[in-house]
Amino acid sequence: MKSVSSHGCLRGFAVGVLVTTAVVDVFNTDAAGHGVWPVVVVLLAGLTAVLWPTGRRPPWLTPELRTAVPASLSALLTVGSLLSGVRYPFGPGEVTVLLCLLFVAVRHCSPRWAVACALLDATALLATPVRYTGSLADDDALAFIAIGLVLVGLAAGLAGYLRTLDYRRTVAVGETRRAERLAIAADLHDFVAHHVTGILVQTQMARMMAAAASDELDPVLAGIERAATEALASMRRTVGVLRDTGPEPDRRPVGDLAAITELTDGFPAPGQKITLDRDPGLDTEVPHEVQAAAFRVVQEALTNVRRHAGDAAEVTVGLRRTGDSFEVTVSDDGHGQSQLPDAAHGGGFGLVGLTERVTALGGTLDAGPRTAGGWTVRALFPLGKG
């Protein structure tokens, strides 16, 4: 509230200064015995261009139009004064308005028109003393031009600096959005690939059981239904993020250590055993973003077990604190045999996404064969001093 109030006071002060100096210009012109209407037209055009509220500005009132029209009217008044021999005085109101318009031109005009509009405003400003002196060679005119060049340089320099900051901010926002889209793509891969791979494995099992008329077919079909439901829910949440819709708590798929327990409980296929080795009290020690990354590591590793090591009899998931680090491991004893079709084996993007997630949190990720056979994925996250 304090910043909004100070901003309003500052804007009110600026409006007061512009209006007061414009009134001074009109009185000076009237005191010189000249008609005030040409000066009033120039000042009204300039004040309108500068003071029109941004939220109420019509689309046609572009920065190019706002800066070019008042400057052109000022230049026409200067030329008309020279041709008619009527020496109109120039005052602080017109000078201040033209400096404001120069600032607008440099900062807000499109790159294609910024230089032209800025030069027009600067030329109109520096030519104003000619109305009174009748020549640029006059000492008074030269003195004003020297001061005017300093003012023009300050206004253009400040506007250029702020335009540079605007550009950097735009680039930063674009990079942030790009990074967010990459994260969303990783979410889409992690959740949907895991569930759909599970559906494919269980469907193959169901076909074999149906051929053998096994009584164990119903639990497998229930697992297929559950995996499909979870895949659809994950897809819906991810699409909600992309479309920027949906309730805030469900907009971003998340995982934590509790979700890892649920993940391992629903993973084993018939004949497979999975063991979760978890240190007690980790929930309070591990930051949420690290828990979410750990969930992705386990999820991707288990998906790869299904894809590449379907013959694994035992899978072990470890969640341990080692010194000042949190270690996540997923190990299997498979020999790389899988009955999945080649199209279901993936393109290697899962580990790439995992590496990006883990390193972004200052951790490391390793994956490779075990000495006793099988494969191990290991992620190490720094926790700091406990």
* Range of weakest confidence among 15-24, 47-56, 243-252: 243-252
pLDDT of the residue at 103: 95
- Domains in the chain, CATH or no CATH each: 2-137 (no CATH), 270-386 (3.30.565.10)
Average per-residue pLDDT in the chain? 79
At 165, is the pLDDT very low, low, confident or very high (cuts 50, 70, 90)?
Answer: very high
pLDDT of the residue at 245: 46
Average confidence (pLDDT) over 243-251: 46
- The C-alpha torsion from 235 through 239 and 240 to 244, rounded to 10°, is 160
Residue 123 parent element (H or E): helix 111-127
At 279, is the pLDDT very low, low, confident or very high (cuts 50, 70, 90)?
Answer: confident
Whole-number Cα distances in Å, 162 to 12, 105, 312: 22, 12, 61
What pLDDT, in 10s, does the model give residues 215-232? 666 676 666 666 666 666
Q: Name which residue leads in pLDDT, 206 or 239.
A: 206
- Residue % of the chain over a pLDDT of 90: 24
The answer to whether the beta carbons of residues 381 and 294 sit under 8 Å apart is yes
Dihedral over Cα of 108, 110, 115, 120: its sign: negative
Whole-number Cα distances in Å, 29 to 37, 72, 113, 121, 220: 10, 20, 33, 22, 93
